[in-house]
Amino acid sequence: MRETDFIGQNKEKWVEFEKILHSEKKDAEKLSRLFIESTDDLSFSRTYYPNRSVRVYLNGLAQQVYQTLYRNRKKDKGAFKRFWTQELPDAMWYARKQLLVSFLVFVLGVGIGLLSSAYNPDFVEIILGERYVEMTENNIKNGDPMAVYGQTSHLEMFLMITWNNIRVSFLCFLMGLLFSIGSGFIVFTNAIMVGAFLYFFIQRSLFWESFYAIMLHGTLELSMIVLAGAAGIALGKGLLFPGSYSRLQSFLLSARHGINIMIGVSAFLVIAGFIEGFATRYTDAPNVIRGTVILLSLTLVVGYFVVYPFRRAALGLTKPEIDKETINEAQEKLLFEKIKKTGQIINESWRTFTKSLTGPLVGSAFVATIFTAFLFWFLGETYLEFYDPFLFSSGLGGELESLADGFWFWDDANNYFDYWSYFILFPLTTLALIPILIIGSNSFKRFAPASSGKNNFGITLLNALITAALMSCCFFASYGAIIVIPFIWPLLILSYAAAELENDFFFMGMSSAFKSLKGNLGKTWGLFLAQGLVLWSIMAITSTPLFYLIFDIIGTNFAASIPWVDKLIYILHTWVILFSLGALFPTMIHSFSLLHFSNQEIANATELKKRIKSISFKKRAYGLEKEI
């Protein structure tokens, strides 16, 4: 059958199909019947017209109906079981060498903690802190060495301990971005604390009493730190040793395996927190019961995270499909006029961002330098009133316990947005945001369709100024900014992205963005929160005491007589945080630019209309067929 005859024969059916799709009330039976017929037509066109527009049109039409029919379908009931029986064990198999490294680092740290405590009487106090040692000494005198576990309510302790353990574990994982060394460092410092802690009770002939109390929850807790270290080391390995893959592909592979491991770690840490919050406090419980729980916990960890993955590999059950999926994801062609999910937008925004790093890195370095120089010139000798005087003291004063404490960088960064105390920060922040916004939009325009992004510099500068000023105003809410920003910033960034992509002024872009927000407002806020969490997690690395230690080492190489050397650690800290914020924030511009394309496709069906118009007809001319 000729293509023109095929189209003429089915055109009315397809028109009816589209009417049903776009109507508010859909006849489910008719929709299902038409879906079957359209897929039959699609199969026919794939066979006889594989390179024709009609096949593309029918494919898009079938996809829309499929999404309409199955949007609310039940999730795969086997997904949960498959994760725990296949995906997580397979991830552990891929990270088996990193698990061994993490375990050896942990054992080495415990040994150093024990030996250092034995040879230096002050080491325990240095590591655990004078206050903790004094409190525990008093508890021992009162006949209850483990009284610390009963000082708060069951639920409060469970929540506090669980949150802290998950926080430290994710910090350990994220530190793998520092080429695996960061994760090893967190495991090592935690192990030193464990060694010092054990020696403290060995020295006082309380080893077994402390062992039964601490290892009741510690068996799971310490094991999960080792596993988090393995996930982090695997993450860094993907960056360091890509092998036959591209560096992006290798990183995606290791990140996916690491995230699977961290999901399992988080679940086990909840169990450990429950035991610590509700059971550890009962120190008078029979040792047989506590020993049984410890043995079962150890058997569970070794059996599930070590033996089971090896057993699956030995039987040939380990599946590499996740690798293929990830590589395909990294190689997927970027399509703009397409409806996308939040996860797709985040993945693609990071793909475009990593391919245009020069502008964000150079621009953020310039902005951070100017901001830092002006800030310290303005503050003068009063800079300690601006900063927390104890900001670096815990990490550099000898208490290694604090080396694992940092996770949320906001405690360090919020000083730069304290407008009520230092109003000069408002125009300074606004001016700093302008080049970051411009760089973010320009770096995205490299990948956008040719019709986008032809604004002259004056309009772009005005749009960035308006957006930056409105974004900065949100910080006047002080601590309320954490509530205001998630609601206001997504709309501002989306409006700016729309204005830049549509070659228009900011408020016209806002109008365009708002028109396409119907039904997509939740997705817009969700994208901001999801992308914000990714950025927040990466920024957490800048707040770790490991960085403070590096700053301090740098500072010791300058003579004390140099006038600004006392400010050096604060200058470096300010620059690193501002540079990181400026370098990473363009990913948010990329995300909302992609979201604008997706929203426009939902609202206007631009790509669908193009496909319909592209369906061609033929006529016979001198025995040949030609397009008209």
Q: Do 92 and 61 have their domain in common?
A: no
Do 369 and 444 share a structural domain?
yes
Tell me the mean pLDDT in the region 326-347. 70
* C-beta separation of 20 from 26 below 8 A: yes
pLDDT at 292: 92
Span 194-212, average pLDDT: 87
Domain boundary, last residue among 265, 289, 321: 321
Q: What is the pLDDT of residue 229?
A: 94
pLDDT at 499 (0 to 100): 92
Question: Which of 73, 96, 122 is the C-terminal boundary of a domain?
Answer: 73
Q: Do the domain assignments include residue 352?
A: yes
The band of 353, judged by pLDDT with boundaries at 50, 70 and 90, is confident
Look up residue 84 and give its two tokens: 């725990």
- Say if residues 312 and 89 touch (Cβ distance below 8 Å): yes
pLDDT of residue 453: 47
DSSP-derived letter for residue 87 is I
Distances (CA, A) of 624 to 45, 294, 552, 618, 627: 21, 83, 81, 10, 10
**Tokens standing for residue 187:** 């495991």
Same structural domain for residues 313 and 390? no
Helix, strand or coil, per DSSP, at residue 619: strand
Residues 19 and 49 in one domain: yes
Give the position of tokens 């902005």: 367
Is residue 589 situated within a structural domain? yes
Q: For a pLDDT cut of 90, what percent of the chain falls above it?
A: 24
User: What average pLDDT does this structure show over 46-54?
Assistant: 67
Question: Are residue 471 and residue 508 in the same domain, yes or no?
Answer: yes
Number of domains in the chain: 3
Domain for residue 536, yes or no? yes
Write out the residue range of the structural domain in which residue 9 sits.
Answer: 3-73
- Give domain status of residue 138, yes or no: yes
Rounded distance, CA 585 to CA 144, Å?
Answer: 51
218-266 pLDDT, tens digit each: 899 999 999 999 999 999 888 888 877 777 778 878 888 888 899 899 9
In this predicted model, which residue has the larger pLDDT, 417 or 367?
367
Domain edge (last residue) among 42, 73, 104: 73
63 lies in the same domain as 136: no
Residue 330 has pLDDT above 70, yes or no: no
Report the alpha-carbon distance of residue 557 to residue 503 in Å, rounded.
51
Is the pTM higher than 0.85? The answer reads no
144 and 185: one domain? yes
322: closest CA among 109, 93, 496, 142? 93
d(CA 264, CA 83): 9
**Burial status of residue 497 (CB atoms within 10 A of its CB: 0-12, 13-18, 19 or more):** buried
**Side-chain-facing half-sphere of 368: CA atoms under 13 Å:** 21
Residues, the chain:
628
Residue 206 lies in a domain: yes
Q: Report if residue 225 sits inside a domain.
A: yes
Alpha-carbon separation of residue 317 from 93, 257, 306, 320 (angstroms): 11, 17, 15, 10
The per-residue pLDDT for range 396-413, each reduced to its tens digit, is 333 333 433 444 566 667
**288 and 390 together in one domain:** no
C-alpha–C-alpha distance, residues 196 and 107, integer Å: 13
Mean pLDDT of the chain: 80
Q: Is 326 part of any domain? A: no
User: Is there a single domain that holds both residue 593 and residue 451?
Assistant: yes
* Residue 154 in tokens: 């069951």
Task: For residue 25, give both structure tokens.
Answer: 């009330």
Name 620's bridge partners: 625
Q: Token pair for residue 600?
A: 């426009």
Q: Does one domain contain both 439 and 351?
A: yes
Question: Exposure pattern of 69-98 as b/e (b: 16+ CB <10 Å)?
Answer: eeeeeeeeeeeeeeeeebbbbbbbbbbeeb
By three-state DSSP, how is residue 77 classified? coil
Phi, psi of 219 (to 5 degrees): -60, -45
Residue type, 65: V
Q: Are 201 and 145 in contact (CB under 8 A)?
A: yes
The continuous run of DSSP H or E covering 618 comes out as strand 618-621
Cβ-count burial 317-344 (b if 16+ within 10 Å, e if not): ebeeebbeebbebbeeeeebeebbebeb
Pairing of strands 624-627, 618-621: antiparallel
**Do residues 238 and 253 lie in contact, with contact meaning Cβ atoms separated by under 8 Å?**
yes
Q: Would you call 391 helix, strand, or coil by DSSP? A: coil
Of all residues in the chain, the percent with pLDDT exceeding 70 is 79
289 and 433 housed in the same domain: no
Asked if residue 335 is part of any domain, the answer here is no
Query: Are residue 19 and residue 103 in the same domain, yes or no?
Result: no
